[in-house]
Chains A and B, each alone.
Chain A
């Protein structure tokens, strides 16, 4: 390139530099100009709501994908159920105005609201309800939770358009609660599209778009049959990094953080002129699971000793800023059968040592504590290991990525101790399943639980309480604490549910100024 040695070459080179300078100026200009286009608070005027959430729904089909992030967006907002669970944990009418059950509690008759219609305009009648259940029954690829819940339903009849009759294979208290979740979602029978990408519900909102990797946008169902949605558009934005979500809230880009991931971020939102902090309860029990297949852990005295060795109040204060509820068994404050059992097998390291000695473990006991890499689990594990050391038990901590924890710990039971949050609602029945990863095949508990589930309205709650107490006394597991429902909203937003009693982030009660 000889021209470099000429004057034109010099100009060429200078041209290069000029280009660089131009690009630099452009970059600076972009930076300087962009304050003109910042995200102003999206609530004012536009009637939109921006909700920050953690896990992105992999698809919009709750029937073939077990991800809890799907019903978080769709339940009650897009798809409706016959009955719903309110913020206090009580069953309320939704598509069904009323319902009654037979003497033997196996036949449920629901009276549908005649006004109810799908977003398509078609009426939500008994045939639609029947079709939704029958469609799931005929489908071999639905999620395992749904398959198990469907087993209770013997048949569905639609004698009149506004009357639908469910016949159960056995009486069940839990069944109606299940019907308030994904199992009960009524899908428009006229819909023939792909449920993974489109929705066909009767709720106040419908899916507008899903921006993979980013957000799900719902728009108002203009022809909603009930109280219309208060927002024209609701955007769920997904953040895999909790710090990014907090920053977005602080910057005013979000109206709501649906669930604060770590309570140590709370002080950031202390400014009450900008933010409202809601602190309620969830269905999430943080369980220190004991593998009953382990020789030592099969002994009740050892399990009780381990429970007594751990100061659960101090643990909650240390790892979760004191946010949460001490529960002591597999029930949370919004369960009708809840009572505070945290005093059962209360913290008493001296007695714990005695019990261990009597059980033949006076000289020590070594256990594998394998936990998934989830903040509460990892932090709790360190606290637990340190307290167990004080009573002569060595807990060897191993942290596993969640997708490795499932096959190794959950499926194959390769562990002695583990810590994980159980977020499903009313899930104490899991202890009645000897194949479940705790391998707690206690026949007495299973009998108590089944009796309570099949009992009539009045006797069910006391019987269920008995079952819950049995678990606590038997130290079937160690209940560390119940996760709090920490929601941050801008002060403009009102009506967010105090407690997270279902998987839904219920938009129907939320409004903004």
Chain B
């Protein structure tokens, strides 16, 4: 088998083993949570006998390995189970929420790139000038702002004070394009600003590294302007480390979205997870966490593959040449 083929097979193997491990961990941890959904359903006055009866009906009194196998078996056939609390299939609860979270993450990542690439480039080129220091300082401030606080500040300014945008809530794209966009602006900007600040510092150091490379010096020597040389020769070289960071960040954004969803009461995966935990709707918790783990692992795998795309040296397989 070719090197690339081996690499792919190894990657897929790691992926499957990580998923299996994660599923066991998720199951054991959620099962260990005190309190249960039968009590939530029946109310505080429920007698222990009534709770036990309902637990039996819901199948919560089966041995843990049996419950695990039936859960994981269901997932393998695309059946995430049914919410004990509402009776809805877990997948049907997750999918509309997923759409909200994906929009948020998509705009959050695009926004952070739009902020970080020019800002990081400027900070690298002008690193000994006031512009560079200013970008650095702003990035530091941006990193120091907790996501929820940044969100609240934006709400206070644009929704409460100026009343340009709705303070929170969500309207699906299929219902009203304008309202959909206006409800996503503040959450996406919040996520972008904070993630953009983190990314700016990576962009800056990646480009500074390029500035010290021979090829950059050569490009300058043959008459390229600093910016043109950096953009022309630096982008792809800087991209390798940036994609790594972006991959890591995408996972953070996915988790950061939970906080943003809370601040802006967006009905995304994060808010689904929080409510489900509070009400001990374990199948929903397990399903959602499992999905998030899957997403993070998939992102990591994609980052690995993207190296092949960006860096031709990795593609040819070092051993063969």
Q: Which residues of A contact B (CB under 8 A)?
A: 1, 4, 10, 13, 16-17, 20, 23-24, 27, 30-31, 33-39, 56, 58-59, 64-67, 140-141, 143-145, 147-148, 194, 196, 211-214, 237-241, 243-244, 247-248, 250-253, 401-404, 406-408, 410-411
Contact = CB atoms under 8 A, between A and B. Distances in A.
Nearest to B152: A243
A286 B262 CA distance: 28
Contacts of A1: 312
Given A66-B46, A213-B275, A407-B39, 19 more contacts: A13-B235, A24-B114, A27-B107, A31-B189, A35-B165, A38-B163, A38-B182, A59-B86, A141-B54, A213-B267, A239-B168, A241-B265, A244-B167, A247-B160, A251-B166, A251-B167, A401-B278, A403-B33, A403-B279
Nearest to A25: B114
Contacts of A27: 107, 110-111, 114, 188
A23 B165 contact: no
Given A30-B185, A212-B93, A141 B57 contact: yes
B210 interface: no
Given A37-B178, A212-B86, A13 B110 contact: no
Nearest to B34: A404
8 contacts: A27-B110, A31-B189, A66-B46, A147-B50, A212-B96, A213-B267, A247-B156, A253-B159
A84 to B, nearest CB: 22
A289 to B, nearest CB: 13
Contacts of B96: 212
Contacts of A247: 152, 155-156, 159-160, 167-168
A4 B45 contact: no
B4 interface: no
B63 interface: no
B42 to A, nearest CB: 5
B179 interface: yes
B43 A145 contact: yes
Contacts of B48: 411
A20 B231 CA distance: 13
Given A144-B50, A212-B86, A407 B165 contact: no
B13 interface: no
A144 B38 CA distance: 11
B185 to A, nearest CB: 5
Nearest to B39: A406
Given A39-B166, A144-B46, A213-B267, A34 B231 contact: no
Contacts of A237: 169, 265
Instruction: Give me the 7 closest cross-chain CB pairs, A-B, nearest first.
Output: A66-B43, A213-B267, A37-B178, A403-B35, A34-B182, A251-B167, A251-B159
B264 A211 contact: no
Given A37-B181, A247-B168, A403-B278, A13 B231 contact: yes
A237 B168 CA distance: 11
A196 B113 CA distance: 44
Contacts, number: 172
B35 A20 contact: no
A37 B169 contact: no
B55 to A, nearest CB: 12
B190 interface: no
A144 B152 CA distance: 41
Contacts of B47: 144
B47 to A, nearest CB: 6
Contacts of A196: 86-87
A18 to B, nearest CB: 12
B88 interface: yes
B95 to A, nearest CB: 11
Contacts of B93: 212
A240 B169 contact: no
B160 A250 contact: yes
B138 interface: no
Contact of B263 (A59, A212, A241): A241
B43 A144 contact: yes
Contacts of A243: 152, 263
B272 interface: yes
Contacts of B268: 213
Contacts of B45: 66, 143-145, 148
A212 B271 contact: no
B20 to A, nearest CB: 29
Contacts of A66: 40-46
Nearest to B50: A144
B143 interface: no
B220 interface: no
A212 B267 contact: yes
A13 B232 contact: yes
Nearest to A65: B41
B280 interface: yes
B164 interface: yes
B117 interface: yes
A38 B263 contact: no
B214 to A, nearest CB: 16
A251 B163 contact: yes
A244 B36 CA distance: 28
B42 A34 contact: no
A235 to B, nearest CB: 10
B236 interface: yes
Contact of A252 (B36, B163, B264): B163
B141 interface: no
B40 A403 contact: yes
A316 to B, nearest CB: 25
Nearest to A433: B45
B274 interface: yes
B44 A20 contact: no
A10 B85 CA distance: 57
Contacts of A147: 50
B170 interface: yes
Contacts of A148: 45
B97 interface: yes
Contacts of B111: 27
A34 B168 CA distance: 14
B236 A143 contact: no
Interface string B80-104: 0000011110000100110000000
Contacts of A67: 40
Contacts of B159: 247-248, 250-251, 253
A211 B267 contact: yes
B272 to A, nearest CB: 6
B2 to A, nearest CB: 19
B236 A4 contact: yes
Contacts of B46: 66, 143-144
B52 to A, nearest CB: 12
Contacts of B160: 247, 250-251
A238 B265 CA distance: 8
Contacts of B40: 66-67, 403
B168 A248 contact: yes
A240 B170 contact: no
A253 B169 contact: yes
A20 B117 contact: yes
Nearest to B114: A24
Contacts of A407: 34-36, 39
Nearest to B88: A212
B114 A23 contact: yes
